[in-house]
Amino acid sequence: MAAAVSAAVSLPSSKSTSLHSRNSILSPERINFNKVPLYYKSVSFSGVKIRAQVTTEAPAKAEKVSKKQVEGVVVNKFRPKDPYIGRCLLNTKITGDDAPGETWHMVFSTEGEVPYREGQSIGVIPDGIDKNGKPHKLRLYSIASSALGDFGDSKTVSLCVKRLVYTNDQGEIVKGVCSNFLCDLKPGSEVKITGPVGKEMLMPKDPNATVIMLATGTGIAPFRSFLWKMFFEKYDDYKFNGLAWLFLGVPTSSSLLYKEEFEKMKEKAPENFRLDFAVSREQTNAKGEKMYIQTRMAEYAEELWELLKKDNTYVYMCGLRGMEKGIDEIIVPLAAKEGN
């Protein structure tokens, strides 16, 4: 299958570093891309059976699926004992200086050696040793780029990483090991990559599907990957003609991740893409309640329910575990009305 990237996207950034001063992404050349079969699994929202995938802080329990359905999707090519050594090509802060916390978008070279699909994750082993003198353990990160990668040459993988900093019970400031390692990576630095992993979040191959994506914070990563494939790339045998509906919840407007990219997608395909933000610390609903992602979804409850009833609707959720309950509370009463 031939594919081409037709997007020119600048990552919004107040701080940006790049090996080749590349934070404008443009790659119009045609390149080869292998088609793989994908699969979906069904989960239920408190009894309402819909095609969906939930992923939160811990890896979701995967149903056993037949090998046939996921044929061609590579997992664990690189294990912690022998990781792939990539290089940081670009690392850009994508949240504003006044945002609560920093999130960075980073691109690593893979030279095509880490073949991943939209919806998979990679492991990163941070440099250094832990308090017992042992090498640090890997942390998982959802891949934020499509399989073609941000430069369109299938030779890179991108992540969207929030820098973890918190105050412990003793009042000391603690920095998360791997997220700080990643957010501080300079272009040219080496990074140990494992995986890819995960077959639970793969995007639907049906180009006419309705794909509802529910993200909080860095939970946006796999959906950026889906949306690039749907709207910024061209394939001979895939043209998205369904409906993609993204709900993204963040604390402040300065922490809206990839906003400009998503707005460009909407301009390109207004009939096929819906975009709704929930900015929790700046917006409220009519009752004055904090605008969480489920609060925004509630505004479209009937419409969402109609979509959920369709056979080719897929719901994906990624981000804070807390959102699961809130979203359930929107869906369950709708289902109950119809006796489900």
Ligand X SMILES: Cc1cc2nc3c(=O)[nH]c(=O)nc-3n(C[C@H](O)[C@H](O)[C@H](O)COP(=O)(O)OP(=O)(O)OC[C@H]3O[C@@H](n4cnc5c(N)ncnc54)[C@H](O)[C@@H]3O)c2cc1C
The token duo for 116 is 């991943």
SS3 264: helix
Q: Which of 50, 221, 246, 265 binds ligand NAP (CB under 6 A)?
A: 221
Q: Which of 318, 330, 331, 334 binds ligand NAP (CB under 6 A)?
A: 318
Binding flags for ligand NAP, 81-100, as an x/- string (CB under 6 A): --------------------
**Listed ranges 36-44, 123-131, 229-237, 321-329: which one lies at the site for ligand NAP (CB under 6 A):** 321-329
Cα–Cα distance measured from residue 228 to residue 268, given in angstroms and rounded to the nearest whole number? 12
CB of 328 to ligand NAP, least distance (A): 11
Specify the residue, 92 or 142, whose C-beta has the smaller distance to ligand X.
Answer: 142
- Does position 179 interact with ligand NAP (CB under 6 A)? The reply is no
Radius of gyration of the chain (CA): 20
Residues binding ligand X (CB under 6 A): 57-59, 121, 139-142, 160-162, 164, 166, 168, 176-180, 218, 221
- Going by C-alpha positions, the residue among 324, 331, 231 that lies closest to residue 275 is 231
- Going by C-alpha positions, the residue among 234, 265, 238 that lies closest to residue 152 is 234
49 CB neighbour count, 10 Å cutoff: 12
Cα–Cα distance measured from residue 188 to residue 82, given in angstroms and rounded to the nearest whole number? 20
326 contact choice in ligand X, ligand NAP, none (CB below 5 to 8 Å, kind-dependent): ligand NAP
Which residue has tokens 């991943």? Answer: 116
Q: Which of 16, 27, 194, 216 binds ligand NAP (CB under 6 A)?
A: 216
Q: Vertex 175, ends 134 and 83: CA angle to 5°?
A: 40
Specify the residue, 104 or 273, whose C-beta has the smaller distance to ligand X.
Answer: 104
Specify the residue, 16 or 55, whose C-beta has the smaller distance to ligand X.
Answer: 55
- Sites for ligand NAP among residues 37-66 (CB under 6 A): 55-57
- Does position 149 interact with ligand NAP (CB under 6 A)? The reply is no
CB of 303 to ligand X, least distance (A): 29
- Does position 116 interact with ligand NAP (CB under 6 A)? The reply is no
The conformation of residue 138, written as its DSSP 8-state character, comes to P
CB of 166 to ligand X, least distance (A): 4
Cα–Cα distance measured from residue 161 to residue 167, given in angstroms and rounded to the nearest whole number? 19
Cα–Cα distance measured from residue 333 to residue 224, given in angstroms and rounded to the nearest whole number? 30
Specify the residue, 1 or 166, whose C-beta has the smaller distance to ligand X.
Answer: 166
SS3 231: helix
- Does position 249 interact with ligand NAP (CB under 6 A)? The reply is yes
Residue closest to ligand NAP when measured from CB atoms: 217
DSSP assignment of 38-73: ----EEEETTEEEEEEEE-SSPPPPPP--GGGGTT-
250 contact choice in ligand NAP, ligand X, none (CB below 5 to 8 Å, kind-dependent): ligand NAP
Residue 80, amino acid:
P
251 contact choice in ligand NAP, ligand X, none (CB below 5 to 8 Å, kind-dependent): ligand NAP
Specify the residue, 185 or 320, whose C-beta has the smaller distance to ligand NAP.
Answer: 320
109 contact choice in ligand NAP, ligand X, none (CB below 5 to 8 Å, kind-dependent): none
Cα–Cα distance measured from residue 300 to residue 232, given in angstroms and rounded to the nearest whole number? 27
Cα–Cα distance measured from residue 148 to residue 31, given in angstroms and rounded to the nearest whole number? 9
DSSP assignment of 83-141: -EEEEEEEEEE-S-TTSSS-EEEEEEE-TT-S---TT-EEEEE-SSB-TTSSBPPPEEE
Contacting positions for ligand NAP (CB under 6 A): 55-57, 142, 162, 216-219, 221, 249-251, 255, 280-281, 292-294, 318-320, 322-323, 326
